């Protein structure tokens, strides 16, 4: 899907000579405790020919941990990730829909504490299954409405008003535009080497609502355009276009094959990437990576799914693909490609699938079927 050694040439230089990688495992809540072990199993099953060994450290975070301890993200978890691991996998987190005093999302906090400013979500159909889709949604991960600066006050007539800050900065917009352009360049390089693609050339689509939010979304749009124009020689092979977010949603479902790389502010990127999962069958098959200058966390796109927790039927594919994506951003493209190929081979068959994809298989049956294809 991506080849991180080129895409992240400006990020931390991970050593591709390392033989042992230490991976933090943060199951979180609900089915996160069922799918993160699947990621570990796949890593442990990789053929020895890749020259990789893995060590794992189990770490705590999540709403259930908050209810037990009063802390959603222990400082120990953050420190171990920063100082003792090469990367991590994060499962899922329960998000209460009403305010819970003292609680905030641990994955949002982790993104901020580790400087994981980009959420990268490839959405790709398997050849011969459903509509052709091959896009990467690059979501700014640190600001917009997700700065969580909200307040509520009472009006003179006794009614209440709630306000939330939407923050867009030039610095954050520049760096998310840059990594999106690097991903577009890398996808073009893969096409030039013969990789199958729906797109003859790279396209970066800036998504915004600057027709209404001319100051905030306007800054996001203008900053990325300015960066592109200032580096036109480097990115000349990438066509730059834009879509108003409501038009983007409409066109994404009507003609998803026209989109290659999409870059969006935090809120729009969140909505678009979850919606795009419907194009390829399920949130249970879509991976993501939270990427920064010094770290990467693989994270499946689904939630904690309390309705199926404990039933052994959660789809592990999003986690397995996120594990491969994590490896790519660490510089290990070959084992990642083997994982992707094994997952695609599983999806092409109807016999071993979890219920969200219309099958009757268990989580472990899917994991074992993927591993046997290595």
Mean pLDDT along residues 116-128 = 92
Domains present along the chain, CATH in parentheses: 18-130+281-373 (3.40.718.10), 168-279 (3.40.50)
Question: What pLDDT does residue 251 have?
Answer: 96
Mind listing the pLDDT tens digit for each residue in 364-374?
999 999 999 99
Q: Are 176 and 140 in contact (CB under 8 A)?
A: yes
- The pLDDT confidence band at residue 17, using thresholds 50, 70 and 90, is low
Question: Quick one: average pLDDT of 351-361?
Answer: 93
Q: What is the pLDDT of residue 97?
A: 78
pLDDT category of residue 98 using cuts at 50, 70 and 90: confident
User: Helix, strand, or coil here: 44?
Assistant: helix
Give the per-residue pLDDT at 1. Answer: 60
In sequence order, the β-bridge partners of residue 309 are: none
pTM equals: 0.90
Average pLDDT over residues 220-244: 97
Q: Is the model's pLDDT at 56 over the cut of 70?
A: yes
Alpha helices in the chain (DSSP H): 4-7, 32-45, 63-69, 75-84, 106-113, 170-192, 216-230, 245-254, 266-277, 317-329, 333-348, 363-371
Closest CA to 27 of 294, 239, 270, 316: 316
Q: Quote the tokens at residue 220.
A: 């996001």
- pLDDT confidence bin for 263, thresholds 50/70/90: very high
Mean pLDDT of the chain: 92
Q: pLDDT at position 85, please?
A: 97
**193 pLDDT above the threshold of 90:** no
């Amino acid at each position: 899907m991506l080849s991180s050694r080129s895409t992240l040439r400006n990020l931390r230089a991970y050593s591709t000579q390392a033989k042992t990688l230490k991976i933090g495992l943060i199951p979180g809540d609900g089915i996160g405790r069922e799918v993160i072990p699947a990621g570990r199993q796949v890593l442990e099953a990789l053929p020895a020919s890749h020259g990789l060994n893995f060590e794992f450290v189990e770490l705590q975070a999540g709403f259930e941990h908050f209810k037990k301890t009063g802390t959603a993200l222990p400082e120990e978890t953050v420190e171990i990730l920063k100082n003792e691991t090469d990367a991590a996998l994060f499962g899922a987190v329960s998000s209460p829909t009403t305010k819970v005093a003292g609680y905030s999302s641990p994955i949002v906090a982790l993104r901020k504490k580790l400087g994981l400013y980009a959420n990268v979500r490839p959405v790709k159909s398997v050849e011969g299954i459903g509509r052709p889709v091959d896009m990467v949604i690059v979501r700014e991960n640190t600001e917009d409405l997700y700065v969580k600066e909200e307040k509520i006050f009472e009006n003179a007539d006794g009614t209440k008003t709630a306000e939330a800050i939407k923050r867009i900065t030039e610095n954050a917009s520049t760096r998310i535009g840059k990594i999106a352009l690097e991903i577009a360049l890398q996808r073009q390089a893969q096409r030039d080497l013969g990789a199958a693609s729906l797109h003859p050339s790279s396209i970066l689509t800036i998504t915004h609502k600057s027709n209404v939010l001319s100051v905030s979304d306007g800054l996001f749009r203008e900053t990325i355009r300015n960066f592109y124009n200032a580096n036109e020689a480097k990115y000349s092979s990438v066509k730059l276009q834009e879509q108003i977010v409501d038009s983007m949603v409409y066109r994404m479902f009507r003609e998803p094959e026209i989109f290659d790389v999409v870059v969006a502010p935090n809120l729009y990127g969140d909505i678009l990437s979850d919606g795009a999962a419907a194009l390829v069958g399920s949130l249970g098959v879509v991976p993501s990576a939270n990427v920064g200058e010094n770290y990467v966390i693989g994270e499946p796109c689904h939630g904690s799914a309390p309705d199926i927790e404990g039933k052994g039927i959660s789809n592990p594919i999003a986690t397995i693909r996120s594990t491969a994506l994590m490896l790519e951003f660490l510089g290990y493209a070959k084992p990642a490609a083997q994982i992707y190929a094994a997952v695609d081979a599983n999806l092409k068959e109807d016999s071993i699938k979890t219920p969200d994809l219309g099958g009757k298989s268990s989580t472990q049956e899917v994991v074992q079927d993927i591993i046997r294809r290595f």
